[in-house]
Amino acid sequence: MILEERPDGAGAGEESPRLQGYDSLTQIQCGQLQSRRAQIHQQIDKELQMRTGAENLYRATSNNQVRETVALELSYVNSNLQLLKEELEELSGGVDPGQHGSEAVTVPMIPLGLKETKELDWSTPLKELISVHFGEDGASYEAEIRELEALRQAMRTPSRNESGLELLRAYYNQLCFLGARFLTPASSLRLFFHWYDSLTGVPAQQRALAFEKGSVLFNIGALHTQIGARQDRSCAEGARRAMEAFQRAAGAFSLLRENFSHAPSPDMSAASLCALEQLMMAQAQECVFEGLSPPASMAPRDCLAQLRLAQEAAQVAAEYRLVHRTMAQPPVHDYVPVSWTALVHVKAEYFRSLAHYHVAMALCDSSPTEGELPTHEQVFLQPPTSSKPGGPVLPQELEERRQLGKAHLKRAILGQEEALRLHALCRVLREVDLLRAVVSQTLQRSLAKYAELDREDDFCEAAEAPDIQPKTHQKPEARMPRLSQGKGPDIFHRLGPLSVFSAKNRWRLVGPVHLTRGEGGFGLTLRGDSPVLIAAIIPGSQAAAAGLKEGDYIVSVNGQPCRWWRHAEVVTELKAAGEAGASLQVVSLLPSSRLPSLGDRRPILLGPRGLLRSQREHGCKTPASTWASPRPLLNWSRKAQQGKTGGCPQPCAPVKPAPPSSSKHPGWP
Residue 228 has pLDDT above 90, yes or no: yes
Yes or no: say if 5 and 176 are a contact pair by the CB < 8 Å rule.
Answer: yes
Residue 235 to residues 23, 105, 294, 439, 607, Cα–Cα distance (Å): 30, 11, 8, 19, 54
Residue 626 has pLDDT above 60, yes or no: no
Task: Name which of 636, 557, 502, 553 is nearest 181 in CA terms.
Answer: 502
Of 604 and 581, the structure prediction assigns the larger pLDDT to: 581
**Could you give the CA distance from residue 652 to residue 639 in angstroms, rounded to a whole number?**
15
Q: What is the pLDDT of residue 189?
A: 81
Beta bridge partners of 509: 587
Q: Find the helix or strand (DSSP H, E) in which 313 lies.
A: helix 303-327
Count how many residues are written for the chain.
669
Task: Name which of 608, 599, 598 is nearest 506 in CA terms.
Answer: 608
**Could you give the CA distance from residue 31 to residue 140 in angstroms, rounded to a whole number?**
35
H-only helix segments in 462-577: 542-545, 567-575
Sort strands 553-557 and 582-589 into parallel, antiparallel or unpaired. Answer: antiparallel
Mean pLDDT of the chain: 76
For 13-25, letters b (16+ CB in 10 Å) and e give eeeebbbebbeee
- Which range has highest mean pLDDT (84-93, 430-439, 473-482)? 473-482
Q: How much of the chain is helix, strand and coil, in % rounded to 5?
A: 50, 10, 40
Cα 105 to chain centroid distance, Å, stands at 29
Q: What is the pLDDT of residue 344?
A: 95
**Could you give the CA distance from residue 469 to residue 483 in angstroms, rounded to a whole number?**
38
Task: Name which of 571, 565, 537, 568 is nearest 551 in CA terms.
Answer: 537
Residue 110: φ, ψ to 5°: -105, 110
Axis-axis angle for helices 142-155, 123-134 (nearest 10): 140
Q: Find the helix or strand (DSSP H, E) in which 303 lies.
A: helix 303-327
Beta bridge partners of 119: none
Of 155 and 599, the structure prediction assigns the larger pLDDT to: 155
Yes or no: say if 605 and 502 are a contact pair by the CB < 8 Å rule.
Answer: yes
Yes or no: say if 217 and 252 are a contact pair by the CB < 8 Å rule.
Answer: yes
Q: What is the pLDDT of residue 449?
A: 87
pLDDT tens digits for 447-500?
Answer: 998 888 877 656 566 668 888 889 999 999 999 988 887 677 889 988 888 888
How would residue 592 be classed by pLDDT, with cut points 50, 70 and 90? Answer: low
Residue 504 has pLDDT above 70, yes or no: yes
How would residue 652 be classed by pLDDT, with cut points 50, 70 and 90? Answer: very low
How would residue 240 be classed by pLDDT, with cut points 50, 70 and 90? Answer: very high
Q: What is the pLDDT of residue 470?
A: 92
**Could you give the CA distance from residue 33 to residue 26 in angstroms, rounded to a whole number?**
13
Q: For the chain, how far is it from start to end, CA to CA, in angstroms?
A: 18
Yes or no: say if 159 and 136 are a contact pair by the CB < 8 Å rule.
Answer: no
Q: What is the pLDDT of residue 7?
A: 38
Cα 595 to chain centroid distance, Å, stands at 34
Residue 318 has pLDDT above 90, yes or no: yes
Residue 390 to residues 188, 359, 378, 381, 393, Cα–Cα distance (Å): 66, 20, 12, 10, 8
Give 541-559 as a DSSP string: SHHHHTT--TT-EEEEETT
535 C-beta neighbours (distance < 10 Å), count: 14
Residue 89 has pLDDT above 70, yes or no: no
Yes or no: say if 557 and 589 are a contact pair by the CB < 8 Å rule.
Answer: no
**Could you give the CA distance from residue 265 to residue 216 in angstroms, rounded to a whole number?**
14
Please report the sign of the dihedral spanned by the C-alpha atoms of residue 332, residue 333, residue 334, residue 336: positive
Q: Looking at residue 201, what DSSP letter applies?
A: -
Residues 6+ apart with CB under 8 A from 581: 514, 515, 516, 517
543 C-beta neighbours (distance < 10 Å), count: 26
pLDDT tens digits for 94-147?
Answer: 555 544 444 455 788 999 888 888 889 999 989 988 888 888 888 899 999 999
Q: What is the pLDDT of residue 14?
A: 41
What's the average model confidence in pLDDT over 370-381? 60
- Which range has highest mean pLDDT (24-28, 41-45, 633-637)? 41-45
Beta bridge partners of 585: 556
Task: Name which of 80, 44, 85, 77 is nearest 58 in CA terms.
Answer: 77
Please report the sign of the dihedral spanned by the C-alpha atoms of residue 383, residue 388, residue 393, residue 398: negative
Task: Name which of 234, 207, 219 is nearest 276 in CA terms.
Answer: 219
Yes or no: say if 605 and 500 are a contact pair by the CB < 8 Å rule.
Answer: yes
Task: Name which of 169, 335, 313 is nearest 252 in CA terms.
Answer: 169
Give 616-668 as a DSSP string: HHHHT--PPP--SSSS-S-B---HHHHT--TTSPPPPPPPPPPPP-TTT-TT-
**Could you give the CA distance from residue 314 to residue 289 in angstroms, rounded to a whole number?**
10
Q: Sort 139 into a burial class: Cβ within 10 Å, 0-12 / 13-18 / 19+.
A: exposed
Task: Name which of 301, 401, 217, 122 is nearest 130 in CA terms.
Answer: 122
Q: What is the pLDDT of residue 595?
A: 39
The upper half-sphere exposure of residue 83, i.e. CA atoms within 13 Å in the direction of its Cβ, equals: 8
